[in-house]
Amino acid sequence: MAKNQNFNTVAIHAGQEFDPTTGAVIPPVYMTSTYVQDGIGGLRSGYEYSRGGNPTRTSLETLLAALEGGKHGLSFASGLAAEDALLRAVLKPGDHVVLGNDVYGGTHRLIEKVHGAWGVRNTTVEMSDVSAVEAAIIPGETKILWIETPSNPLMKISNIAALADIGHRAGAIVVVDNTFASPALQQPLAHGADVVVHSTTKYLGGHSDVVGGGLVINDDELFEKTKFVQFAAGPVSAPLDAWLTVRGIKTLSVRMERHCTNAQAIAEFLQAHPAVETVYYPGLPSHPGHELAAQQMSGFGGMISLSFKDGAKAARTFCESMHLFQLAESLGGVESLVNYPAEMTHASVRGTDLEVPDNVVRLSVGIEDVADLIADLESALPRS
């Protein structure tokens, strides 16, 4: 692939060369567990066994790296499987992780409960406050600074470049979970991050039909270590899952454009409604991270949270009263979803300092006609 291609071209062509045998424009799905050897150890194209490598997975891994402007991509069975492989490659018992106080609940659960049981320590911090992060880092002991921006569910924006500086000065690896923005809107490696994490289940797959995860890593040694964990423990993505993800990524740019325009219109509509207390959307000038988001991102994304003046009961009624916005976990698909974080996506962080207020509702704004979406929201909001 030509090195100077732009994002929209890369998203369709990187790692997607036509099949040389038949000329098929779309590379086949390699549904195979193993590969014939030409004599013992005589591998064709390096493939030996599909836990170690599969051409369909390679095509996704090449694409992921190209999307993020990185050197190496790795594709996993889920976003959390990707996170776990990275954590295992980097951390030893006694090591310390600094992460945001409103990261994805499953990320906190993995670091606190699973890696915590093996002696990994963590501190949660207000990641949008650079000096708070500086204070939480223990130089020499903090091995990972884990950033999620925009964060989930309150859409806080963190300054990747400033945090990367702080992390690097303390000897930590700087990781950005780029699931909410997608590489169409934000490319963390260009801002100084070392690793990008994705739940490809969300915007990259884009159609709510596949669970997957990815890592993009520039450093050769860290890549080799993480790839070894992937090979040794086996949390790889299956060929059909990798293929569906590649298929989704081809329309990423056009989907993100519509997600952004729909979400902006909906955020403005909600902000003007008397039942709504706060709208958390970085595209609103009133959002505390608006200016930083405008510098760091090329669009404000499709995720919105809102809180209700009348508390939990109003929030729950709203969630259960819509038709187009379906009540479900997850996000990033073409269809709109509504989620009640306190009892759904963020139930695992109840009672911790990551707890989400119970009057907050999260919307994943899809790419349907925005007038229909607003009509659905209006019908579910209390009449003024």
Ligand X SMILES: *Cc1c(COP(=O)(O)O)cnc(C)c1O
The residues assigned a catalytic role are 51, 104, 177, 202
CA distances from 144 to 68, 89, 281 (A): 20, 11, 28
305 binds ligand X (CB under 6 A): no
Give the nearest distance from C-beta 178 to ligand X in angstroms: 8
DSSP 111: I
Report in angstroms how near the CB of residue 48 gets to ligand X at its nearest: 27
Q: Does 346 bind ligand X (CB under 6 A)?
A: no
Binding piece for ligand X, criterion CB under 6 A, among 45-53, 122-130, 197-205, 313-321: 197-205
Could you tell me where the DSSP H helices lie in the chain? 7-13, 55-67, 79-90, 105-109, 130-136, 160-169, 220-233, 239-249, 252-271, 290-296, 311-319, 370-380
Binding mask 199-238 for ligand X (x = CB under 6 A): x-xx--------x-x-------------------------
**Is residue 347 a contact residue for ligand X (CB under 6 A)?**
no
Sole window of 54-62, 175-183, 215-223, 347-355 interacting with ligand X (rule: CB under 6 A) = 175-183
Instruction: State which of residues 177, 194, 241, 376 lies at the interface with ligand X (CB under 6 A).
Output: 177
How far separated are the first and last CA of the chain, in Å rounded? 57
Least Å distance, CB 180 to ligand X, is 6
Neighbours of 118 (CB within 10 A): 13
Complex with ligand X: residue 47 or 281, whichever CB lies closer: 281
Smallest gap from Cβ 44 to ligand X, in A, equals: 32
Residue showing the smallest CB distance to ligand X in the complex: 79
**Which of 79, 70, 10, 48 minimizes the C-alpha distance to 237?**
79
Q: In Å, how far from its chain's centre is CA 158?
A: 15
Rounded to whole angstroms, the Cα distance separating 156 from 242 reads 30
Would you say the C-alpha torsion 139, 292, 181, 263 has a positive or negative sign?
positive
Cβ closest to ligand X, residue 211 vs residue 249: 211
Give, as ranges, the residues between 69 and 128 that touch ligand X (CB under 6 A).
Answer: 78-80, 104, 106-107
Judged by beta carbon, residue 242 or residue 381, the one nearer ligand X is 242
CA-to-CA dists, residue 67 to 5, 53, 95, 231, 357, angstroms: 11, 20, 31, 23, 35
Residue closer to ligand X (CB basis): 35 or 104: 104
Residue carrying structure tokens 């051409």:
55
CB of residue 333 vs ligand X: minimum separation in angstroms?
Answer: 12
Residue 181 sits at the vertex; the CA angle it makes with 304 and 243, to the nearest 5 degrees, is 115
In angstroms, what is the minimal distance from the CB of 319 to ligand X? 18
- Contact call for residue 364 and ligand X (CB under 6 A): no
d(CA 276, CA 290): 19
Kindly state whether residue 152 participates in binding ligand X, applying the rule CB under 6 A: yes
Comparison of 283 and 301: residue with beta carbon closer to ligand X:
301
Could you tell me how far CA 120 lies from the centroid of its own chain? 23
Q: How many CA atoms, within 13 angstroms, populate the side-chain half-sphere of residue 62?
A: 16
Residues that bind ligand X (CB under 6 A): 78-80, 104, 106-107, 148, 152, 177, 179-180, 199, 201-202, 211, 213
